[in-house]
Copies of this chain bind each other. A is one copy, B any other.
């Protein structure tokens, strides 16, 4: 029933201090106490523990008024390196971060297969990690951990246990193989939990306590944060909003079922909307990213294109209704859009979606919900996974009791 000991609370306080320091860049003990709501004495103790592990360092001192100078603190980026690995459907991206979670280097390895096997996924990850480390000149011994985000799309053939939920079975197998191939402490999560973590540490989650982060790309899903914690779900599959139904018995979804949210607001779904309106439009057959960029560009051009306007209008309708469902069920404080579709279309999509969401508001539930585009850019999946690997490292050195279910 989710019992927590005072040890958990101490560990949470440590994460809060580190979290606040990462957000601020540099900070004093007093400021950290103010931001975290902890006492100055507690903050001082925690800072001492974090310094003991080399995670926090001095960043000079600031003379405030007439008093004696106050020591500024920062997270010590040189404490080590952390890898965040985004395994997408067509590529593997490995990003090297320092211990202050600043990006040091990035590598992308393509994956050709449309439904990658456990073996090919493993090989691509290994190659991405090796290349990233050698290109940035990082010694393996200096890596604090690696976090790998695995989507639920690895083929079933090589699964060790076809009865267990696909995600868990497949990813346990990939993790098993990675453990043999990469000599690094690993954590594995699904991309939805990764983007939620990124938003929690570096985005709107720094101040909001409950939020939904809707990821719009080829696939669609939602990271859910409640009381500052990521909702994982009983089988580790919470947030599969992309496969909730928007239109009963509607469009075929690539998951094999009908009418899913993803089939309407995933990039290929938006393109299908355009094809339904104008099958011969110049954007009807171009690749996904080119299509989304084309929509954004055409919409912003003077004159515009009635087909593109109709596509954006229908998409805002679909998205507003689908987000309204999440709002009705979860009732979050904040909803953030993320992913490359959201970044490309931005407010051109957010404003009409917000209007639709307000119209749909059930019994006032979403009247006050805040909707925006996430400020966490770049690869929020890789950033989130590096953060999870960092949390895991903190656990290893006794600074946190965070339990990650699929950690090695």
| Interface membership of chain A positions 316-339, coded 1 if the CB is closer than 8 angstroms to chain B and 0 otherwise | 001001101110111111000000
Which of A244-252, A276-284, A301-309, A391-399 contacts the other chain? A244-252
| Interface membership of chain A positions 149-164, coded 1 if the CB is closer than 8 angstroms to chain B and 0 otherwise | 0001000000000001
- Residues in B with CB closer than 8 Å to A165 are 363-365, 367-368
| Cβ contacts A to B, 27 pairs, < 8 Å | A1-B16, A2-B227, A2-B228, A3-B9, A6-B6, A6-B9, A152-B363, A165-B365, A168-B364, A226-B231, A231-B331, A233-B331, A234-B332, A234-B368, A237-B328, A237-B331, A237-B365, A238-B330, A239-B329, A241-B328, A243-B328, A244-B325, A245-B325, A245-B360, A246-B248, A248-B321, A329-B330
- Residues in B with CB closer than 8 Å to A12 are 3
Picked from B209, B222, B224, the residue with its CB within 8 Å of the CB of A2 is: B209
- Residues in B with CB closer than 8 Å to A241 are 328-329
Picked from B240, B333, B369, the residue with its CB within 8 Å of the CB of A328 is: B240
- Residues in B with CB closer than 8 Å to A333 are 234
Picked from B1, B222, B234, B325, the residue with its CB within 8 Å of the CB of A228 is: B1
Name the 6 nearest CB pairs between A and B, nearest first.
Answer: A233-B331, A165-B364, A2-B227, A243-B362, A1-B228, A237-B365
A residues near B (Cβ < 8 Å) are 1-6, 9, 12, 16, 37, 152, 164-168, 209-210, 222, 224, 226-229, 231-241, 243-248, 250, 255, 257, 260, 318, 321-322, 324-326, 328-333, 359-360, 362-365, 367-369
Q: Complex: how many Å from CA A4 to CA B364?
A: 30
Q: Complex: how many Å from CA A229 to CA B368?
A: 24
Picked from B4, B9, B164, B329, the residue with its CB within 8 Å of the CB of A326 is: B329
Question: Are B248 and A247 closer than 8 Å at their CB atoms?
Answer: yes
